[in-house]
Amino acid sequence: MSSTVKTRERTVSPSRRLRALSREQLPNRQVAGRSLLYAILIVLAAIYIAPFLIQVATSFKTDGDAASNPMSLLPQTWSTAAYERLFLNSDFPVWFQNSAIVTVFVTLGRVFFNSLAGYALARLHFRGRNVIFALLIAVMSVPGVVLLIPKFLVINQLGIYDTYVAMIVPLLTDAAGVFIMKNFFESIPASVEEQARIDGAGTFRVFWSIVLPMARPALVTIIILSFQGSWNELSHFIVATQSPELTTLTKGVASLASGQLSQGTQYPLKLAAAAIMTIPVAVMFFIFQKRIMNTTDGAVKE
Amino acid sequence: MSTPARTPRRSGIRGGETASGWLFTAPMIILLGLFLVIPVLMALWVSFSDWNGRGSPFGGTVSFVGLDNYSALVGGGGLAEQDFGTALRNNAWYVLLVVPIQTMLSLLLAVLVNRQILRGRGFFRTAFYFPSVTSSVAITVLWLFLFSASGAVNKLLAFIGVNGPNWFNDPSGVLHNLLGAFGVETGPAALTGNTFLGISFWEWLAGPSVAMSAFILMAVFTTSGTFMLLFIAALQNLSGDVVEAAMMDGANGWQRFWRVTLPQLRPTLFTVLTLGLIGAWQVFDQIYTGTQGGPGKTTLTPAYLSYQAAFTNQAWGQGAAIAFILFVIIVVFTLLQRWLLAERGVSARRMRPYLPIPTSGGSK
């Protein structure tokens, strides 16, 4: 295309009008390309968003409406029956509470232990540091699903099966988080903490009141990852607990999906439960949107 | 124990670092030891034992059975072998389709969203990434609804005149269906007569079942956003100089992408393929929530089979053995991929055009 423009310019170069014409054609082509780009993106975005819109819409439908109009985004009659049933007549509030408890403790614990270990590995010079680091890398490569039976065995052996301890403590193991913190601490200059050390502050003091406040960006990454990870965790709770009082949202909603609590399909109920369980991570996502979009690369860097 | 020569010199502002170093890392080491290293060793023992879930696996009633659990899976000739073979077949097709599709789609999304001229980039990024933050349980529930017999997807297919299948209740293999459309209903005797891991080669070639295809679409839907972010970050880190140079040399957009941009994305491509491969071999949540291995065991995966063997059938040794075989599969695939994508030296013959030309200018 550009070559034809050139030849035209060369052959009729004295004519200014033609040259102006060819200059106008170029933007036209760009406009067409741009419209195509937008068209493709809008179609793709619609495909990605539509399922969630259908989910929310269906949760406000009656069972019959949901079955006969699965695609419509507006319920024929608005019904909050699914939500009433969930909150007033089921264990759903208990599930929500358990998920919240676990998520809060796991997130706090990971923030503390990850940064502690990450700081030591990045900054403190001690014998065995390299061995610990090598072990950390080795441990990171163990796929989670392989650990289902092993985790049950150790939880059972320790006598903590079916307790909050069994739900929370094993989830504190987070080699990837230590790795992220270590990388971050290595990237900030050591001069500040050295100044404090000369002033006589102890190692923990330096860590707690000087280094940790500086590490806020990395801590936010850890918070996001552990919040999302523990809120969405399913398999660990399957092997760590059995009693209904300790059921989390993921486990509870999974049991809903396979037909407990409901006769027939009851899609509005299931989709309402799924929608509510998505809200906390969605809120988290929108609060930290800027950071998530910028930090994932740092977080998963090889 | 500590070297006497060094210790005094270190005792300035670096004093006591060994103690605090170990103290700081101790919680993590204990946690990882207690809930990762020891459990794996315990499970390794269980995979060599005949523990049936009663009492402690280390008690006197449990005996060592050697490789019995493993050999029952890979050559026992019984149901265990057949189920394991089926699970491997299902998951292999899942990996074969999910990993390339999600990698290509996430790269496409990243390239589209990363266009400088694009407005509303934030909106598109959010739309594509959002499915990645939601839990697999919630998405599975949604998927069961969308892909039900009279669900939204089939309504959409009916709109363009296609009679959609009963997704999650359809055990037929996609490739078998495709062959069936051409009148091929049974395979040649060479394929149906011989078996590998308890199922015939013809069954190995069935392709993913229609039910599994719905899970494949779901995996692509939920993971493409995460990987898109990795590609976007990589694209933004590329310097524009090389692309500009290629532009000056007259490379068109297509050539610039394949010959200039993509080779520079190799490290990210490796990360995405590795993470994708590791994730795709670990299908569990979706199966537990959605189909429990059905219909016709066509969504059974090794991860779910391992859980089922141990927790439902109390065949703990076998469950643990499946988990370890799965572990080996994942490690082997990761290493294989690392080897395939390794940066190799360019041969002298291919390098020649890029060597400096001895006579300056005028050679063209």
Q: Which domain holds residue B173?
A: 71-340
ipTM over cut 0.85 = no
Residue A113's nearest CA partner among A216, A237, A219, A228 is A219
Task: Give the gap in angstroms from C-alpha A14 to the nearest C-alpha of chain B.
Answer: 27
In-domain check, residue B61: no
B75: β partners: none
Distance CA A249, CA A98 (A): 8
Residue A295 is predicted with a pLDDT of: 43
Q: Would you say residue A261 has pLDDT above 80?
A: no
Q: A289-299 and B210-237 helices cross at what angle (nearest 10)?
A: 90
pLDDT band of A164, cuts 50, 70, 90: very high
Residue A1 is predicted with a pLDDT of: 39
In-domain check, residue B37: no
Distance CA B355, CA A251 (A): 62
CA A201 to mean position of chain CA atoms: 37
Q: B79-113 and B68-75 helices cross at what angle (nearest 10)?
A: 80
Q: A267-287 and A289-299 helices cross at what angle (nearest 10)?
A: 80
**Which of A127, A145, A195 to mutate to test binding with chain B, by most B CBs within 10 Å of its CB?**
A145
**Which of B1, B11, B22, B35 to mutate to test binding with chain A, by most A CBs within 10 Å of its CB?**
B35
Q: Nearest residue on chain A to B291, judged by CA atoms?
A: A258
Nearest Cβ partner of A175 from B32, B145, B230?
Answer: B32
| Domain locations in chain A as residue ranges | 2-59, 90-299
Range 19-38 of B in CB contact (< 8 A) with A: 19-22, 24-25, 27-29, 31-32, 34-38
In-domain check, residue B103: yes
In the chain, the amino acid numbered B43 is A
Residue B244 is predicted with a pLDDT of: 82
Give me the torsion for CA of B194, B196, B199, B204, rounded to 10°: -90
Distance CA A112, CA A118 (A): 10
Q: Determine, for residues B40 and A284 on separate chains, whether the beta-carbon distance falls below 8 Å.
A: no
In-domain check, residue B27: no
Contact B301, B286 (CB under 8 A): no
Residue B91 is predicted with a pLDDT of: 96
CB atoms within 10 A of CB B212: 29
Residue B347 is predicted with a pLDDT of: 65
pLDDT band of A25, cuts 50, 70, 90: low
pLDDT band of A201, cuts 50, 70, 90: confident
In the chain, the amino acid numbered A275 is A
Distance CA A82, CA A63 (A): 9
Residue B85 is predicted with a pLDDT of: 93
Contact B199, B82 (CB under 8 A): yes
Tell me which CATH homologous superfamily contains domain A90-299: MetI-like (1.10.3720.10)
Residue A167 is predicted with a pLDDT of: 95
Residue B110's nearest CA partner among A298, A299, A285, A41 is A41
Write down the residue that tokens 């789609």 correspond to. Answer: B105
Nearest Cβ partner of B140 from A44, A129, A257?
Answer: A257
Q: CA-based angle A207:A212:A218, to the nearest 5?
A: 135
Q: Determine, for residues A281 and B135 on separate chains, whether the beta-carbon distance falls below 8 Å.
A: yes
Q: Would you say residue A262 has pLDDT above 70?
A: no
Q: Where are the alpha helices (DSSP H) in A60-202?
A: 63-68, 81-88, 92-123, 129-140, 148-157, 164-168, 175-187, 191-198
B151: β partners: none
Residue B74 is predicted with a pLDDT of: 87
List phi, psi (to 5°) of B209.
Answer: -70, 165
Q: Would you say residue B359 has pLDDT above 80?
A: no
In-domain check, residue B352: no
B335 at A interface, C-beta within 8 A: no
State chain A's mean pLDDT as an integer: 83
* 3-state DSSP assignment of residue A199: coil
Q: What is the pLDDT of residues A276-302, one digit of tens each?
A: 999 999 998 888 877 776 644 443 333
The DSSP symbol for B248 reads H
Q: Determine, for residues A154 and B112 on separate chains, whether the beta-carbon distance falls below 8 Å.
A: no
pLDDT band of B344, cuts 50, 70, 90: low
- The radius of gyration of chain A from alpha carbons, rounded to an integer in Å, stands at 28
Q: For chain B, what percent of residues have pLDDT higher than 90?
A: 40
Distance CA B228, CA B217 (A): 16
pLDDT band of A144, cuts 50, 70, 90: confident
Residue A70's nearest CA partner among B212, B159, B216 is B159
Structure tokens at A179: 């790795």
In-domain check, residue B175: yes
**B306 neighbourhood in chain A, CB within 8 Å:** 145, 148-149
**Which of B14, B17, B25, B215 to mutate to test binding with chain A, by most A CBs within 10 Å of its CB?**
B25
Residue B356 is predicted with a pLDDT of: 63
- Which helix (H) or strand (E) segment holds residue B325: the answer is helix B316-340
Residue B305's nearest CA partner among B295, B292, B290 is B292
The DSSP symbol for B296 reads T
Q: Would you say residue B319 has pLDDT above 90?
A: yes
**A262 neighbourhood in chain B, CB within 8 Å:** none
Contact B43, B320 (CB under 8 A): yes
Task: Give the gap in angstroms from C-alpha A103 to the nearest C-alpha of chain B.
Answer: 14
Q: Determine, for residues B128 and A153 on separate chains, whether the beta-carbon distance falls below 8 Å.
A: no
In-domain check, residue B256: yes
B199: β partners: B196
**Between B362 and B289, whose confidence is greater?**
B289
**Between B348 and A62, whose confidence is greater?**
A62
Number of residues that make up chain A? 302
Q: Determine, for residues A37 and B226 on separate chains, whether the beta-carbon distance falls below 8 Å.
A: no
Q: What is the pLDDT of residues A215-235, one digit of tens each?
A: 888 898 899 989 999 999 999
**A146 neighbourhood in chain B, CB within 8 Å:** 40, 323-324, 326-327, 330
Residue B3 is predicted with a pLDDT of: 42
Residue B131 is predicted with a pLDDT of: 93
List phi, psi (to 5°) of B298.
Answer: -85, -5
Q: Determine, for residues B118 and A207 on separate chains, whether the beta-carbon distance falls below 8 Å.
A: no
**Domains of chain B: total:** 1
The DSSP symbol for A144 reads G
Residue A7 is predicted with a pLDDT of: 42
pLDDT band of B14, cuts 50, 70, 90: low
Nearest Cβ partner of B43 from A150, A238, A270?
Answer: A150
Lowest mean pLDDT among A133-137, A242-246, B299-303: A133-137
Residue A135's nearest CA partner among B28, B326, B325 is B28
Q: Would you say residue B363 has pLDDT above 70?
A: no
Q: Determine, for residues B109 and A150 on separate chains, whether the beta-carbon distance falls below 8 Å.
A: no
pLDDT band of A34, cuts 50, 70, 90: confident
Number of residues that make up chain B? 364
List phi, psi (to 5°) of B281.
Answer: -85, -5
Task: Give the gap in angstroms from C-alpha B280 to the nearest C-alpha of chain A.
Answer: 11
Structure tokens at A31: 């406009």
Residue B53 — left, alpha, or beta (φ > 0 → left; ψ -120 to 50 → alpha)?
left
Q: Determine, for residues B29 and A169 on separate chains, whether the beta-carbon distance falls below 8 Å.
A: no
Q: Would you say residue A15 has pLDDT above 60?
A: no
CB atoms within 10 A of CB B64: 9
Residue A5 is predicted with a pLDDT of: 43
pLDDT band of B62, cuts 50, 70, 90: confident
Structure tokens at B320: 């643990």
pLDDT band of A59, cuts 50, 70, 90: very high
Residue A143's nearest CA partner among B322, B339, B137, B92 is B322
Q: Determine, for residues A271 and B145 on separate chains, whether the beta-carbon distance falls below 8 Å.
A: yes
Lowest mean pLDDT among A77-86, A93-102, B89-98, B350-359: B350-359
CB contacts < 8 Å between A and B, how many? 280
Residue A294 is predicted with a pLDDT of: 61
Range 117-156 of B in CB contact (< 8 A) with A: 117-118, 122-131, 133-142, 144-146, 148, 150-152, 155-156
Q: Average of pLDDT values for B313-340?
A: 90
Task: Give the gap in angstroms from C-alpha A21 to the nearest C-alpha of chain B.
Answer: 24
Structure tokens at A234: 């399913």
Q: Would you say residue A175 has pLDDT above 60?
A: yes
CATH number at B150 reads 1.10.3720.10
Nearest Cβ partner of A278 from B138, B292, B331?
Answer: B138
Q: Nearest residue on chain B to A46, judged by CA atoms?
A: B127
Distance CA A230, CA A281 (A): 11
Contact A150, B40 (CB under 8 A): yes
In-domain check, residue B19: no
Contact B132, B222 (CB under 8 A): yes
